[in-house]
Amino acid sequence: MRTIGVSEIEDIALGAALLGAGGGGDPYVGKLVALGAVRECGPVTLLDPEEVPDDALVVPIAMMGAPTILGEKGIGGEEYQRLFDMVSRFFGKKIFAFLPIEAGGVNSMLPIAACARLGLPLVDADGMGRAFPELQMVTFTIGGISASPMALTDEKGNSVIFETITNKWTEELARAVTMSCGGSVSVSLYPLTGAQMKAYAVRNIVTRSERLGAAIRTVKDCEGRTPEEHFLEFSEGYRLFKGKIVDVLRETNGAFNFGKAVLEGVGEYKGRAAFVRFQNENLAAVVDGEIVATTPDLICLVDAETFKPVTTDALKYGKRVLMVGYRCFDLWRTPAGLELVGPGYFGIETDYIPLEERCKGGKGHV
């Protein structure tokens, strides 16, 4: 048990945006919401998963819809209270703590705001250890846990609870209501017992985000190593490529941004070429025609100088980026995990090979 205040939020937002693997929205927007709540209501207690009783009700909180609309509409303080009341009433039992559903700039922050406003603790765990584009893509699905009852509320005060036969229907109906409510709403989904959370959640994700944020913030302070070496070592990243963005192809299809960023090597990668395919998040990295990393491992582009994460929304011609890989959470590497989020699900024609194996032989390194 420890406390999250203003300075922790700065680092968590930065690190969680890195773990967003290109998706998860703008950390600046999310950070403003969390900072506002903590300044107004005080810091938040962060619980280790082991500190949660097995029979406690713990509930992931997130936003659904477009983060850019969230920035315009804002989130009222009452939305989280309504979600709390709806879910507590549904189960006839008060929610013990919130947790994030995913890393990423926005959804890492909203649960902190919710906990601050309601005086609830936050669990140091989430359902992805990164960000993914679809609602069923959480470790809880591997545990057979349903997304519903899912609660949804908007900034005007409308509330909806869904109980659906599959998580695909949860997505379908909640998406329809989200659009009718103006394109961005607050939700809670995958309500869990403490025991379920301990069995399937990605542990220590808030703490890991914070450490990654600190690593990015302190790269200039290292001694005897280059900032890049410091960043890679501290973040346990695999260097995949370094280059200049020379083309970004985008196609928006429904709720998703599909696309490809093409890189031209710089520095020691001069004369070489790479590209990254994405669907909201980065899904596959190819260097000189060879796949060097795929989902569910994390493929992250960071600014080559500051090491700040660059989301797929923010990819721009001419920007110099370092392409870094991170090992995904172990459960994603099981057959059940790969069925949900492996390369095959996204139409990438390759078997999944763990990042660290693909990077053997000097192509990448920690």
The answer to the question of residue 159 lying near a copy of itself (CB under 8 A) is yes
The answer to the question of residue 94 lying near a copy of itself (CB under 8 A) is no
The answer to the question of residue 89 lying near a copy of itself (CB under 8 A) is yes
The answer to the question of residue 136 lying near a copy of itself (CB under 8 A) is no
Q: Looking at beta carbons only, is 13 or 152 nearer to a copy of itself?
A: 152
The answer to the question of residue 169 lying near a copy of itself (CB under 8 A) is yes
CB of 285 to a copy of itself, least distance (A): 36
The answer to the question of residue 306 lying near a copy of itself (CB under 8 A) is no
CB of 139 to a copy of itself, least distance (A): 24
Label residue 252 exposed, middle or buried (CB < 10 Å: 0-12, 13-18, 19+): exposed
The answer to the question of residue 255 lying near a copy of itself (CB under 8 A) is no
DSSP secondary structure letters along 5-50: -HHHHHHHHHHHHHHTTT-S--HHHHHHHHHHHHHHH--EEEEPGG
From the list 92, 224, 254, 289, which residue makes contact with a copy of itself (rule: CB under 8 A)? 92
Label residue 276 exposed, middle or buried (CB < 10 Å: 0-12, 13-18, 19+): buried
Strand, coil or helix: what is 156?
coil
Draw the binding track, 201-240, toward a copy of itself (x: CB under 8 A; -: no contact): ----------------------------------------
Note every long-range contact of 25-28, with CB atoms under 8 Å and residues 24 or more positions apart, other chains counting: 25/67, 25/70, 25/104, 25/105, 25/106, 25/107, 25/311, 25/313, 26/67, 26/68, 26/71, 26/105, 26/106, 26/311, 26/313, 26/314, 27/105, 27/106, 27/108, 27/109, 27/309, 28/105
From the list 42, 53, 157, 267, which residue makes contact with a copy of itself (rule: CB under 8 A)? 157
Q: Assess contact for 63 and 26: CB atoms under 8 A.
A: no
The footprint of a copy of itself on this chain (CB under 8 A) covers a number of residues equal to 22
Q: Assess contact for 90 and 196: CB atoms under 8 A.
A: no
Q: Assess contact for 195 and 180: CB atoms under 8 A.
A: no
The answer to the question of residue 163 lying near a copy of itself (CB under 8 A) is yes
The stretch among 154-162, 274-282, 286-294, 310-318 that binds a copy of itself (CB under 8 A) is: 154-162
The answer to the question of residue 366 lying near a copy of itself (CB under 8 A) is no
CB of 170 to a copy of itself, least distance (A): 9
The answer to the question of residue 156 lying near a copy of itself (CB under 8 A) is yes
The answer to the question of residue 179 lying near a copy of itself (CB under 8 A) is yes
Binding residues (CB under 8 A) for a copy of itself: these are 86, 89-90, 92, 156-165, 169, 172-173, 176-177, 179-181
